[in-house]
Chain A
Amino acid sequence: MGKTISEKIIGKHSGKEVKAGDFVIAEIDVAAVQDGTGPLTIDKMSEVNLIQAKNPKKTALFIDHAAPSPRKELSNAHKKLREFAKKTGSILSETGEGVCHQRLAEDFVAPGNILIGADSHTCMSGALGAFATGMGSTDVGIGIALGKAWLKVPETFKIEVAGEFGHNVGTKDLILNLIGKIGADGATYKALEFCGETIKNTDMASRFTLCNMAVEAGAKTGIIASDQTTKKYLAMRKREHDFKEIKADSDAIYEKIIKIDASKLKPTVSCPHTVDNTTEAAALNNIKIHQVFIGSCTNGRIEDLRIAASILKNKKRNFDTRLLISPASKDIFIQALQEGLIEIFVKAGASIVTPGCGPCVGVHAGILGDEEVCLSTQNRNFKGRMGNPKGLIYLSSPATAAYSAILGYIADPTNI
């Protein structure tokens, strides 16, 4: 019987044939925590007397959510991660090196791997043809120590995309649109396998955006077959040897098949306070915005910054709209500097925020005031997300965000 990508990968890691619905104990390749979840992971590991890493070179601790630290409690949490990394020989990704998911994709995860991370958007690395899923501190702590985790093999929804995206429309619009259709719990426990001509023709950046947001439909992971684009990406990261071809069998069994025509998609926006509360950007031009954030693990890649720069070049942000931009990793930051994008942003009136989570998680660097409205390229607009339950968060693509920053209200970027 044919297998989905998830069934193939989980089967390999549990030493037997598996099918959707099976429970297994699987070996894991990469385990990760960040500064919000890592300290609790370490506490849990101490409880069982297991301060150890089975595979230290594939165990990574990221200081990204509250970096640089805005207060002493968080500085102490950071200290704890540094000490653990030293003690166990694990990898520490310091302040300024970038958001965990971007760093994991850049340097850690390979096609065919299983990655577990104590962060819900761990599913992003599925774009490399890996099985990547978010878990809590306890699961990941045990995973770091023993090199395994218990898993239920998920059923898969096949998301088949055909057609070409219009001008300034892309995979962020696609995924917001899909979540709007199926709902924030429309794929709970499922794997979303993205495929079709459009996906084949997209770059890795666009694929990461898709898989990143799978969890916003409740999914366990987003996943994409590895191909020449994956290979090129790994080669660019000097990891060509990590490439492996992974794809679903043509007779794999899917719980559901959803077809999407990319050419029909319009710039899409999620309105407060849920990601599935979507509408077209063009319908929101009465919404004034006080802050725009371009960045996060969802849309802080060089390709995203290039789109934003193409719109912001020789323009200024609206007087009443603050503009915050954060490259998702140090390497992206360097590239943006070399390409002159940062200069374009600063001249347009933007503040550049340290590579990392920035304002996305509401700890520092861009907390909203009461009743203030933010348009962000991040993945979540929950009440209180950006540090204030009285703030209002809209989500969009980098193109929509950049264009809206100039006008001061939410605007459709297809006609520029």
Chain B
Amino acid sequence: MSIKKGTAWKFGDDISTDHIAPGRLFHLRTNLPELAKHVLEDARENFASEMKKGDFVAAGKNFGLGSSREHAPTIIKLSGISGVLAKSFARIFFRNSINIGLPLIECNTDLIEEKDEIEVDLKNGIVRNISSGVKIPIAPLPDIMIKILNEGGLIEHIKKHGDFQLL
């Protein structure tokens, strides 16, 4: 996986799937590009219009808690966010993100400030904060998830192998 560079947008702890893809927009779940225009809206009102393609989300602990809606990581990816950095992720969100090919980076996000320029190097497991010069190690993903992510998600994996070939 290549090295990606972008601007970080800071979010707090416990950002739920309701913050990311609000329940009141339930009817847009079958229109993902439209739903993506509201990504993270209940955490930061104008996020979708202010962010740029290639930017990163940098949050606190337990990012993505709540419902199983895969629409949440899907619209983060669709909006052009390169990856989500957080101190920790909720379980279902974690799985869903890897399944759809959205990189999740577990690291100490206290070392990243709003609008810092960062560089994420998944292969070497490091985040370089270009603005502050600090290097932040990334907690490694389990092998099974690296395999899925490297093949572009679970659907691509099954397309390729016709079955699970993960162990």
Contact = CB atoms under 8 A, between A and B. Distances in A.
Nearest to A49: B159
Contacts of A184: 14, 62, 65
A290 interface: no
Contacts of A389: 22, 42
Interface string A374-387: 00000010111111
A28 interface: no
B24 A367 contact: yes
A362 B24 contact: yes
Interface string A210-227: 000001001010000000
Contact of B92 (A66, A134, A142, A383): A134
Which of the listed residues B24, B31, B42, B166 has the most CB atoms from chain A within 10 Å of its own CB?
B24
B129 to A, nearest CB: 25
B105 interface: no
Contact of A73 (B23, B28, B153): B28
Contact of A387 (B24, B31, B88, B144): B24
Given A73-B30, A77-B29, A382-B19, A23 B167 contact: yes
B26 A139 contact: no
Which of the listed residues A138, A274, A367 has the most CB atoms from chain B within 10 Å of its own CB?
A138
Given A48-B158, A363-B26, A382-B18, A150 B166 contact: yes
A380 B144 CA distance: 31
B79 interface: no
Contacts of A65: 26
B47 to A, nearest CB: 13
A218 B69 CA distance: 15
B29 A40 contact: yes
B91 interface: yes
Contacts of B18: 362, 380, 382-385
A146 B163 contact: yes
B68 interface: yes
A150 B29 CA distance: 26
Contacts of B74: 40
Which of the listed residues A215, A220, A388 has the most CB atoms from chain B within 10 Å of its own CB?
A215
Interface in A152-180: 152
Contacts of B22: 362, 384, 389
B65 A138 contact: no
A220 B95 CA distance: 11
B90 A36 contact: no
B142 interface: yes
Given A48-B158, A76-B30, A77-B30, A134 B68 contact: yes
A36 B72 CA distance: 12
Interface in A84-136: 117-120, 122, 134-136
Contact of B19 (A135, A188, A384, A388): A384
A64 to B, nearest CB: 12
Contacts of B24: 362-363, 367, 384, 387-388
Contacts of B30: 39, 73, 76-77
Contacts of A233: none
A189 interface: yes
A25 B167 contact: yes
Contacts of A136: 68-70, 92, 95-96, 99-100
A138 B67 contact: no
Given A274-B14, A389-B22, 15 more contacts: A23-B144, A25-B166, A40-B71, A137-B68, A138-B96, A138-B100, A142-B158, A362-B23, A367-B24, A382-B18, A382-B19, A383-B18, A384-B22, A385-B23, A388-B24
Sort A-B residue pairs by CB-CB distance and give the 3 closest, nearest first: A136-B96, A136-B70, A362-B23
28 contacts: A23-B143, A23-B167, A24-B167, A36-B26, A36-B69, A50-B158, A73-B28, A74-B26, A120-B66, A120-B67, A134-B92, A135-B68, A137-B70, A138-B96, A138-B100, A138-B155, A139-B96, A142-B154, A146-B164, A184-B65, A185-B62, A185-B90, A188-B62, A361-B23, A362-B23, A362-B26, A363-B27, A389-B42
Interface of B: 14, 16, 18-19, 22-24, 26-31, 42, 61-62, 65-71, 74, 88, 90-92, 95-96, 99-100, 142-144, 153-155, 158-159, 163-164, 166-167
